[in-house]
Amino acid sequence: GKRCFTIQDVVDEYGVSRGLVRVSVRNLIKSGDLISPVRGLYVIVPPENQPYGSIPAKELVPLIAHHIKADYYVSLLSAGLFYGATHQKPAKFQVISDKRIKRKLIFGDVEINFIYKKSLSDLPTKNFTVNTGYLKVASPELVLLDLLSYPDHAGGLNHIATVLSELIDNLDANKLINLSKETKTEYQLQRIGYLLENIEFMDDQIATNFIEALAEYVQKNKKNYIPLASEISVAGYPRSKKWKIVINTDIESDL
C-alpha cells in the first residue's frame, strides 16, 4: 500500500545497510520502477504508469509537498481543469508553493512546475481526492487572480480569456471582489471586467450579472487607469472609461 519511502524507512524496517539500499534504489530508478522527484524521496511507479515515466502529477504533488513540508495548491491552467476549463490543457502541471524547488521535475510525460509565492496562508482552496491522499486546488476565484498575476505561466491574455469563459459558471463575484481586497489585487478586477465584456459566453445571463457586480465596484473604488497588457506601452491607445483600462492589445478567446 505504500506509494513512497525514504532510505531511512527501508533501513528501519528491514535492518539492512544504507549502502545496500542505495544500490537497490539506483537499480530500481534505472529500471523505471522508482523515481526520485526531490532529494531523499523515492516514489514507486506501478507497471501501468511506467510507459508514462511516472505516476500522474496530481498524485505525485501531495507526496512531494508532504516530504518537503511545503504549503501548496494547484493553480493557473492546471487548476482550471478541475473546474471544467479544459480547452487550455497545459504541458506542465502548475503548482504554487511556499518552498522554492530548483530542480526541474520531468519524468517521461509528466512535468511539474513549482511557482514560488511567499505566503499561502488563508488563501481559498478545495481538496480533491486522489490515489495518494488529497490534492489542494485553488478556488475558481483564486485561479482567476493567479492567471492574471502570472500571465507568462498562463500563455497570455487570450488563453486567460478562454479559461475565464469556461470558469464563469463556478465563479462568485462577491468572493472574487473580497479575495482581490485580501490579496491586494483589486486592480485585476478592471482587467477581468473588460475581458468578460469582450468574449462570448454560453450563458449570457450569468456573465451579465457578474459584469454588473464588477462594474459597480470598479466605478466606486478604482480611479486609476491600468493597461490591459502590462508588458505593452500605453501611449496612444484607446481607453475604457467603464473599466479604467487602457486597451493596448486585442482579445480573442480561443473557443
Which pTM value belongs to this model? 0.92
Mean predicted confidence (pLDDT) in 157-171:
91
How far is the C-alpha of 15 from the C-alpha of 37, rounded, in Å?
A: 25
How far is the C-alpha of 100 from the C-alpha of 91, rounded, in Å?
A: 20
How far is the C-alpha of 62 from the C-alpha of 59, rounded, in Å?
A: 6
Three-state SS at 11: helix
- Predicted local distance difference test score (pLDDT) of residue 200: 77
Burial class from Cβ neighbours inside 10 Å (0-12, 13-18, 19+) for residue 44 reads middle
Segment (H or E) for 244:
none
How far is the C-alpha of 99 from the C-alpha of 21, rounded, in Å?
A: 28
How far is the C-alpha of 88 from the C-alpha of 103, rounded, in Å?
A: 25
Domains in the chain: boundaries: 155-255
Q: Give backbone dihedrals phi and psi of 120, rounded to 5 degrees, phi first.
A: -115, 5
Residue 255 has pLDDT above 80, yes or no: no
pLDDT tens digits for range 54-110: 999 999 999 999 999 999 999 999 999 999 888 767 889 999 999 998 878 999 999
Q: Determine the longest span between alpha carbons in the chain, in angstroms.
A: 73
How far is the C-alpha of 17 from the C-alpha of 39, rounded, in Å?
A: 19
Buried b (16+ CB within 10 A) or exposed e, 99-124: eebeeebebeebbbbbbebeebeebe
pLDDT tens digits for range 94-147: 999 999 988 789 999 999 999 999 999 999 999 999 999 999 999 999 999 999
Closest to 74 in 3D by CA, of 35, 124, 2, 131: 124
Residue 1 has pLDDT above 80, yes or no: no
Cβ–Cβ < 8 Å for 209, 216: no
pLDDT tens digits for range 180-215: 999 999 999 999 999 999 887 766 788 899 999 999
Who has greater pLDDT, 107 or 252? 107
Cβ–Cβ < 8 Å for 58, 130: yes
Residue 187 per-residue DSSP state: T
Sheet holding 239-240, edge to edge: 226-227, 245-246, 239-240
- Predicted local distance difference test score (pLDDT) of residue 203: 67
pLDDT tens digits for range 227-244: 999 888 888 999 999 999
